[in-house]
A and B are shown apart, each in its own frame.
Chain A
């Protein structure tokens, strides 16, 4: 087991290096560059832009710059943002808690809602409740995030004044209750898609398992329905859902970009979005690396959970 994990981690490192090389290359051949932002600023004169280009090393070809960046990364230096001049690591560190709070909120919400919904739908197949939940899930899946977010704001923030429209805290307040109030709407918006898909997959996986011979046998042995569901059905139905959850980790991370923008949530998504818009290469690369690492970690996590759930799966 541990050798399997070690092998996977080694593969992941190689994969991340490949991802970084391709990303850096594409970024540098894309039209425009970090200084294009200044081209549109009447205060910044052409000779200033030339000087900035030299100061930032942008007058050198991209591959030596890439190697310098990779060398820095190997020593734990993530570089400095072109725009703020601040260390990239410090900027990410400031926002990490906000993004993980939001992701965790969305994750908990999605699990908390998708399990009972999926279970109910599977055990009440084709009844009106199941049909209603199916409709709701497809609707939630298809709804544009920004529209849903703005509707929630208008309803709960403007109309009823129940929840704050945007931000993470009231100015000068740092209580957990205040954070909770601010978290409700963004977590709902971010978690909604996952909630919808997990509940649908869980429903079909449960239906699949419920039709198995060993379930019928368990019922025939006189076990209670609840016990059959919990001991035999649910556990075996979880395998595809766990895969989904693992794969949804990076999706939650990238979905946070839109959610954070709508709700003014001070997380990493917004940081990387502005880095992309401004071509702040060091910050952009950090975002890509974190995103790729999350994807790989999510996959590994899913594989390991398989083994825990299904004794037939063994890694060596």
Chain B
């Protein structure tokens, strides 16, 4: 008995000693965020995971950037001009910019970025727009002249909004060494912060870059923690271990709102939820697709499944952005109208109430990704409504590799519907989604237009949009493109996600919108 009492006393003493240890803290100026995945590669042109962007965005700059209000701002560049034929873009770089290792930034770095992005021997994942460049002249250290193969309007967003990387570090390396360079874990950039420590699967520490060309960062360092479990992330925020938590899960939003010393910021995310309709059989028929849109209870999903953390979607342009066609409205949930449309289209109810046409049943299985509880609930809600319409709908949940891979439902030649989300971002360029040239040729040839939507008018408009540098004209083209999206229903637009970021009370200078966050050099912690 006495022995066990002693054991308890020892345990209690140990716990007290452990808890009594002061937490190591740096006086002021450390900002802690969290991401779910380990960044695979901090080279902006070689990374595959979105998590990598959450780290390298502090390290690299692009010639131009979109600020958090959605406006284009010069960054590494001071100005640019475009020739009347839209094929020559001339860029003037800011002078006096240095890489974090002290080397000056010059036009050679801009040219090298293009050479790297188009290098066939490097494992490049991001090169959109760079392939439009025929050559680059560098008449001076701050002058860059891009010669394009053809007029290409998205050039500003895709190329001049893309990070510049240092030629003096990667230039001398052969391709296979670039794929495995230490730079990929500890990059050298021109941004306000620089990576000082990368503890894989644990955290990345970024320290203020004393050579930064912009206003001096108020923080001493940013720590990006890597914690896969969302509930653990919420617990970390509640324990006071994080400065900001991006994307509080809806299930714990209320708890976060009630937590002391935490503010919750709500904003529309440029990510939409869609149902891809694979056009093999009946789904080739636009009337069927429209009827399914009418039979999808979008408002109810927003209210009941998303708990209000979503907003209606009608096209792929974020509704509070400059490209949204404000004249369009989502189709309301109207089963009677959907039934009437299908009857008019020649469908008749068969055995079990399933609609048939020419002896074939209207069968559309509904798939989604595993791991997201809300998606799994959503397909059940949608399937219930579609069954009420007379569609034979079975629900399936699969991993990304199984869903989008070569043995997945996209390649079996049968109608199918896939529910997932797509990050359109805030730029209008959506050619890869709707242009018929992006319909994959076979299961081994990937293409983003996996719904196999094909419309000559859409193709013509997308081609024209790419060639049109004039802003007002381009806006009119995208307005028409959205009308076609709404009319033809290549996919059903379900909703736009709303994100909620939790911000600790000791943080100032931080804010967030659809277009991004306030510049990190303006953040501070007390």
CB pair A264–B400 under 8 Å, yes or no, is no
Residue of A nearest to B405 (CB): A32
In the docked arrangement, what's the CA distance between A270 and B199, Å?
A: 14
**Shortest beta-carbon distance, A275 to chain B, in Å?**
11
Q: Tell me, yes or no, whether B251 is within 8 Å of chain A by CB.
A: no
Establish whether residues B404 and A39, one from each chain, have CB atoms under 8 Å apart when the complex forms. Answer: yes
- Considering only residues 160-177 of chain A, those with a C-beta below 8 Å from chain B are 160-173, 177
**Cβ–Cβ contact B21 & A36, under 8 A:** no
Q: What number of B residues sit within 8 Å (CB to CB) of A? A: 73
Q: What is the CB-to-nearest-CB distance from B132 to chain A, in angstroms, rounded to a whole number?
A: 12
Quick one: which of A46, A86, A165, A180 contacts B446, CB cutoff 8 A?
A46
Contact with A along B217-252 (1 / 0, CB 8 A): 000000101111101100110110100000000000
- One of B46, B205, B446, B448 near A35 (C-beta < 8 A): B446
| Residues in B neighbouring A3, C-beta threshold 8 A | none
Residues of chain A contacted by B405 (CB below 8 angstroms)? 31-33, 36, 39
Say yes or no for B372: interface residue by CB 8 A criterion: no
Interfacial chain B residues near A39, Cβ < 8 Å: 400, 404-405, 446
B128 to A45, Cβ gap below 8 A? yes
The CA-CA distance from A55 to B125 in the complex, in Å, is 12
Chain B residues with Cβ below 8 Å from A85 are 41, 46, 123, 179-180, 184
Q: CB-CB < 8 A to B185: which residues of A?
A: 84, 86
Q: How distant is the Cα of A171 from the Cα of B222 in the complex, in angstroms? A: 11
- Contact (Cβ within 8 A) B402 A83: no
* A residues less than 8 Å from B239 (CB atoms): 157-158, 161, 164-165
Q: Does A178 contact B (CB under 8 A)?
A: yes
In B39-53, which residues have CB < 8 Å from any A CB? 40-41, 46, 48-50
Do the beta carbons of B41 and A84 come within 8 Å of each other?
yes
Q: Which residue of B lies closest to A58 (CB)?
A: B444
A95 within 8 A of B: yes
Whether B422 lies near A279 (C-beta < 8 A) is no
- Name the one of A38, A45, A95, A177 contacting B18, with C-beta atoms under 8 angstroms: A177
Within the assembled complex, what's the spacing in Å between the Cα atoms of A48 and B236?
A: 38
- Would you call B2 an interface residue if the criterion is a C-beta within 8 Å of the partner chain's C-beta atoms? no
Is the CB of B374 closer than 8 A to any CB of chain A? no
The complex places the Cα of A270 from the Cα of B229 at a distance, in Å, of 11
A282 to chain B, nearest CB (A): 13
Question: Does B408 touch A at the CB level, under 8 Å?
Answer: yes
The residue on B at minimum CB distance from A161 is: B239
Using A32-B406, A84-B41 as known contacts, say yes or no to A153 and B235 having CB atoms under 8 A apart. yes
Q: For the complex, give the distance between the alpha carbons of A181 and B26 in Å.
A: 19
B18 touches A154 (CB 8 A): no
B399: chain A residues at CB < 8 Å are 32, 277
With a cutoff of 8 Å between Cβ atoms, the chain B residues found around residue A267 in the complex are 201
Interface string of A278-294 (1 = CB under 8 A from B): 11000000000000000
**In chain A, what residue has the closest Cβ to B19?**
A162
Give residues of chain B (436-463) contacting chain A, Cβ–Cβ below 8 Å. 438, 440, 444-448
The reply to whether A48 and B125 form a contact with Cβ atoms under 8 Å apart is yes
Chain A residue, CB-CB nearest to B37 = A274
Of chain A, the residue at the smallest CB distance from B450 is A39
The answer, yes or no, to whether B509 is at the interface (CB within 8 Å) is no
**Any B CB within 8 A of the CB of A91:** yes
User: A37-62: which have CB < 8 Å to B?
Assistant: 37-46, 48-53, 55-56
Q: Which residues of B contact A278 (CB under 8 A)?
A: 48
| Bitwise interface map of A from 167 to 201 toward B, beta carbon under 8 Å scored 1, else 0 | 11111110001101100100000000000000000
Residues of B with C-beta under 8 A to A36: 400-405
Smallest Cβ distance from B116 to chain A, in angstroms?
A: 14
User: Is A262 engaged at the interface, CB distance under 8 Å to the other chain?
Assistant: yes
In whole angstroms, what is the CA distance A59 to B41 when docked?
23
A162 CA to B440 CA, complexed, in Å? 55
Cα of A274 to Cα of B201 in the assembled complex, Å = 10
> A83-B40, A85-B184 are known contacts. Are A170 and B23 too (CB-CB below 8 A)?
yes
Tell me how many residue pairs across A and B have CB atoms closer than 8 Å: 196
Chain A contact patch, size range: 35 or more
Q: How far is the CB of A93 from chain B (nearest CB, A)?
A: 11
Nearest CB of A to B17, in Å: 8
Q: How far is the CA of A55 from the CA of B238 in the complex (A)?
A: 45
A contact residues around B314 at 8 Å (CB): none
Contact of B126 among A43, A173, A180, A271 (CB under 8 A): A43
- Asked if B280 is at the interface (CB within 8 A of a chain A CB), the reply is no
Chain A residues whose C-beta falls within 8 Å of the C-beta of B446 in the assembled complex:
35, 38-39, 46, 49-50
Q: Which of A241-293 contact B (CB under 8 A)?
A: 261-264, 266-267, 270-271, 274, 277-279
Q: Are A45 and B236 interface neighbours, CB within 8 A? A: no
A85-B184, A162-B19, A264-B227 known; A41 vs B401 contact (CB < 8 Å): no
Q: Which residue from chain B places its CB closest to the CB of A261 in the assembled complex?
A: B228
CB neighbours (8 Å) of A279 from chain B are: 401
Q: Are A42 and B448 CB-contacts (below 8 A) given A48-B125, A51-B120?
A: yes
- Please name the residue on chain B nearest to A279 by beta carbon: B401
A243 CB, min distance to chain B CBs, angstroms: 29
Q: Are the C-beta atoms of B200 and A95 separated by less than 8 Å?
A: yes
Q: Is the CB of A94 within 8 A of B41?
A: no
Flag whether B320 is at the interface (Cβ < 8 A): no
Q: How far is the CA of A86 from the CA of B123 in the complex (A)?
A: 13
Considering the chains assembled together, what is the distance between the CA atoms of A172 and B32 in angstroms?
A: 13
Residue A297 at the chain B interface, CB threshold 8 Å: no
**Cα-based distance from A52 to B125 in the complex (angstroms):** 8
B115 within 8 A of A: no
Question: With an 8 A cutoff between CB atoms, is A150 at the interface?
Answer: yes
Interface check B339, CB cutoff 8 A: no
Residues of B within 8 A of A171 (CB): 24, 30, 32, 203, 205, 223
Is A80 in the interface zone, CB < 8 Å from B? yes
Given A40-B400, A86-B180, A264-B202, residue A163 in contact with residue B448 (CB < 8 A): no
Residues of A within 8 A of B38 (CB): 270, 274
Interface string of A2-34 (1 = CB under 8 A from B): 000000000000000000000000000011110
A150 vs B255: C-alpha distance when bound (angstroms) = 15
List B contacts of A170 (CB < 8 A): 23-24
| Of B50, B223, B404, the contact of A32 (CB 8 Å cutoff) | B404
Minimum Cβ distance to chain B for residue A214 (Å): 29
The answer, yes or no, to whether B407 is at the interface (CB within 8 Å) is yes
B144 is an interface residue with CB less than 8 A from chain A: no
- Identify 13 new A-B residue pairs, CB closer than 8 A, beyond the known A39-B404, A45-B432, A171-B203: A30-B401, A32-B400, A32-B404, A36-B401, A38-B446, A39-B400, A40-B420, A44-B48, A46-B432, A48-B124, A83-B49, A168-B202, A261-B228
Between-chain CB contacts (< 8 Å), 15 pairs:
A38-B48, A39-B405, A46-B432, A46-B445, A86-B185, A165-B235, A170-B24, A171-B223, A172-B26, A181-B18, A264-B225, A266-B200, A266-B202, A267-B201, A277-B399
Going nearest first, the 9 A-B pairs with the smallest beta carbon separation are A32-B401, A32-B405, A264-B227, A31-B407, A266-B201, A266-B202, A31-B402, A36-B401, A83-B40
